[in-house]
Amino acid sequence: MNKIEHLGIAVKSLEIANVTYTKIFGAPYKTELVQSEGVNTSFFKLGSNKIELLEAIKPESAIAKFIEKKGEGLHHVAFEVDDIYSEMERLKEEGFTLLNQVPKIGADNKLICFVHPKETHGVLIELCQEIK
């Protein structure tokens, strides 16, 4: 794993949260709808780090369930990897439960995989690899 690539924050309204975070970081550099994950997202840059805001677009979305249970807040920590396939294999061998068995296409041109938060002391970890 190389570094923290981004932090994901679950929000009720992307429109409202964009206004808040624009005051802190400046305007988002992109917004992107990810139908497969049921989310609308926006991304802010801080040097080589990023903040992703996530709003649910349907009730079955992981973000809708998260907000219902825990309220708005930090949803996941994403780590950049060079080879997501070998990192997934390595973590599986270490006994972690991967929430998807093959990498999914996520926001911001990434292949992604999540690790169950129950096995990582309550933090949802995302692996992400840039799609070349």
CB of 16 to ligand CMX, least distance (A): 19
Q: Does 63 bind ligand CMX (CB under 6 A)?
A: yes
Q: What is the enclosing helix (H) or strand (E) of 81?
A: none
Q: Contacting ligand CMX (CB under 6 A), which of 11, 34, 84, 88?
A: 34
At residue 126, φ and ψ (nearest 5 deg) are: -115, 130
Question: Interaction with ligand CMX in 40-59: which residues (CB under 6 A)?
Answer: 41, 54
As beta bridge partners, residue 79 has 4, 127
Note every long-range contact of 25-31, with CB atoms under 8 Å and residues 24 or more positions apart, other chains counting.
25/51, 28/53, 30/108
Contacting positions for ligand CMX (CB under 6 A): 8, 34, 37, 39, 41, 54, 62-63, 65-66, 69, 75-76, 99, 106-107, 114, 116-118, 122, 124
